[in-house]
Structure 1
Amino acid sequence: MPIAVVGVLVLGYGMLWVRPSPAVHLIGVCTVGLLLAACGVWWPRLRRFVPAVALLAAAASVVATVLVRVAYPGGQPETPGATGVWLLVESGALTLTVYLVVRWSGGVAGGFAAVAPALATALAWQRFALAGTVIEAAAVSAVWLVPAVGAAVAGAYLRWLAFGRRRAVADARREQRLDLANDLHDFVAHDISEIVAQAQAGRFVFGADRPELAKLLERIEIAGVRALGSMDRTLALLRDPGEAARAPVGGVDDLAELIARFNAGGGPQAALDLRIARPVPRESGAVVHRAVTEALTNVRRHAPTAATVSIVVSEVDGSLELRIEDDGRGAPKQAARDSSGLGLAGMAERAESLGGSCRAGPREPSGWRIVLVLPLQDRSISEGVAP
């Protein structure tokens, strides 16, 4: 907004004290300047109107060109200094308009809206009596198309990068949701399978003496099997066609194998220290396994100078504590090592969903630390619900 205000003030000063000759040159530059200033003040609310802004700016510039050629049928014979400066400002403003349209507008309408100010920039230089043939005059206009083409390329490149970032974030979110769905399938399927097994056992043990109980247990068994099938079909729908089934969810007992694979790849070496004797609930174990996987992946990507990674799983005040530290050399207050913006956030969400917490940040004198705290007691038991 301050830049827009300063631009309007400079434009007003030029209109009063440094006017071009003839003054109709100001039609195009003033229109483009005011439109860009409005976009700067009310951005991003006016972003969807950028194509209209581009068309209005191009129309004003073409009108100024036509009026100058009417006043000077053969073109303005000379280029006074002030007039040339105003024309350069107009060309720059139209080029900026091309960039804005390509960067923030899409579709066929955006394409046409970007072409209009580019052509207006090329035609603006036809206001002057250009020496030479028609082909040479057209070549001059073509040269002034180069900045507009460059602005369009820059806008298209930044638009492509933004699209790639959005797609990467969407893919990462989908991957995370699919992981959570896979976890849900594994955990709930285990419990439902246990219910089915107990119903089958009860039917065979008590069914001979109590037929009505046998029928009830049979209905429970059938409902459980049906629930397992529904879960399998739902998870299959979440996967893309041809996508392989996910590997079973890992736990604390699988950390040694995970770290061995990490160390076999060379580079930083991870050391695991298990200081916990109590059984770890499946949900907490899965979160620990995924947290270690995410942390080791981030070490590979963002801590190339790290030599060692320490992974400690211990019991602290009745809770499971996972502490992951590396010795990456660098400023202690470096940016968070999370390429997608979802890994650490997803880790924290999973921990909080189980009643735990997650902290991550730089450590002294160098490196990175992640501390994950999770409950060691199954939530269904702690809440008084039968497992």
Structure 2
Amino acid sequence: MRFARVPLVVAGVLALLYGAVWMPPDPVVHLVSGLTACVAVVALLGTGPRGRRLAPAAATVAGAASIALTATTFASRTPGDAETMTWFFLEAVALTALVYLAVLWGPRAGAAVAGIAPAIATSFLLFRFDSGEEGPGQIVGAAVWLVPAAIAAGAALYLRWLAAGRRRAVLDARREQRLDLANDLHDFVAHDISEIVAQAQAGRIVFGGDRPELAKLLERIETAGVRALGSMDRTLALLRDPGEAARAPVGGVDDLEALVERFNEGGGPQAVLALRLTGPVDRETGAVVHRTVTEALTNVRRHAPTAATVSIELTEVDGSLRLRVEDDGRDAPKPSFRDSSGLGLAGMAERAESLGGRFEAGPREPAGWRITLRLPLQDINEGAPL
């Protein structure tokens, strides 16, 4: 079908030109609006999906041209011959088709507005000719000629409503599939983590009495497993009720100390947190900072096993909030591998850009990795009632 569009457009334009040459209206000026409307319809139908976004503009231009021609020829109305009336009906059909296409393909907010100009132009066509009726008779005739345009607009709106219903049904089906997958993942992973927690508890009871350091290690494993189970439960709850995400507590700047303490309790690299803030940080900015630190510490665990320390510094610089996370990993993997967290780094950059900030990540000298986040500080009292 795609390869047939160009021949169809060419054939339609040639047919219109043939009619303009061999069957011109009287006066010939009627060709202007008639050809404009017909060419617009042929072009929209021939260009396919890419041209759909131009439907409102094409309908508005064709409608405006028709109304302007009606206004200029109103004073010199004639009864109209056969050729003129042929172009009259052809223009009316083309304008009605433009109403349908504009409402069907136009943007959601302006779909109905896009069809107003060609619809009005259709009802005004009668005022170009002297039909022998004046006053109320012409007004009634214009209202009658408006009916096809109204039917076309109603049909297009109905089809849009059906398409929206299909999209909602598809989205609902996909959401149900994701929930089913999430349930399966939760059940399988929760079963394995529960077994790990049970083994850690049993090991702490059996072997922890004689070896305190082993008991402490097993206790940390147990605590991490219980925390992972809680995180999965909360994530599944958010998937089931998206509105819960707005009600659930979100980590912020005040939670960074607890986050660093949990990281240090896991052994390995030790993180040092330095907060140099002169005032509170708004909730949205604090959430981005918390998630960035979480992702950075996770990357240290995964990709910098030789790191000994992690420096986390949060300061205010020139009206902005600057976060810097650095590790001193030796023999660190190449940057391309460190970037393999993929969605993690990309997600941090997107969150920063959404708030008008900037995110950077890369190797540092002499060794290690550095993540820098800069966000504009928001006034938490802005918009508050006096």
2:63 corresponds, among 58, 64, 80, to: 58
CA deviation string 1:107-147 (max 9, x = no partner): 44332221110000010111111333411101101111111
Matched, 1:25 2:30: yes
* Amino acid paired to 2:152: A
- Aligned-partner Cα distance in 2 for 1:47–1:241: 33
Matched, 1:113 2:114: yes
CA deviation string 1:40-61 (max 9, x = no partner): 3322222112111011101111
- Aligned-partner Cα distance in 1 for 2:109–2:137: 32
What root-mean-square deviation, in Å, do the aligned CA atoms of Structure 1 and Structure 2 show? 1.6
Shift of 1:38: 2.3
Shift of 1:30: 0.6
Task: Tell me what 2:193 maps to.
Answer: 192
Task: Mark the runs of 5 or more structure 1 residues left unpaired by the alignment.
Answer: 244-387
| SS class of match (1:45) | helix
- Aligned-partner Cα distance in 2 for 1:196–1:108: 54
Question: 2:122, 2:146 within 8 Å by CA — same for their partners in 1?
Answer: yes
Matched, 1:35 2:40: yes
Q: TM-score, normalised by structure 1?
A: 0.59
State percent identity of aligned pairs: 58
| Equivalence map 1:302-321=2 (5 Å) | none
Question: 2:104, 2:111 within 8 Å by CA — same for their partners in 1?
Answer: no
Question: 2:44, 2:51 within 8 Å by CA — same for their partners in 1?
Answer: yes
| SS class of match (1:23) | coil
Matched, 1:214 2:219: no
| Equivalence map 1:133-282=2 (5 Å) | 133-240=134-241
Q: TM-score, normalised by structure 2?
A: 0.60
Task: Mark the runs of 5 or more structure 2 residues left unpaired by the alignment.
Answer: 245-386
Task: Tell me what 1:5 maps to.
Answer: 10
Task: Tell me what 1:342 maps to.
Answer: none
Question: 1:131, 1:137 within 8 Å by CA — same for their partners in 2?
Answer: no
Shift of 1:34: 1.7
Q: 1:11 to 1:110 in 2, by over 3 A?
A: same
Shift of 1:177: 0.7
Q: 1:175 to 1:14 in 2, by over 3 A?
A: same
Query: Greater shift after overlay, 44-53 or 12-21?
Result: 44-53
Question: 2:63, 2:118 within 8 Å by CA — same for their partners in 1?
Answer: yes
- Aligned-partner Cα distance in 2 for 1:9–1:242: 57
Question: 1:98, 1:115 within 8 Å by CA — same for their partners in 2?
Answer: yes
* Amino acid paired to 2:28: A
* Amino acid paired to 2:231: S
* Amino acid paired to 1:52: A
| SS class of match (1:43) | helix
Task: Tell me what 2:21 maps to.
Answer: 16
- Aligned-partner Cα distance in 2 for 1:63–1:3: 29
* Amino acid paired to 2:26: S
Question: 1:39, 1:47 within 8 Å by CA — same for their partners in 2?
Answer: yes
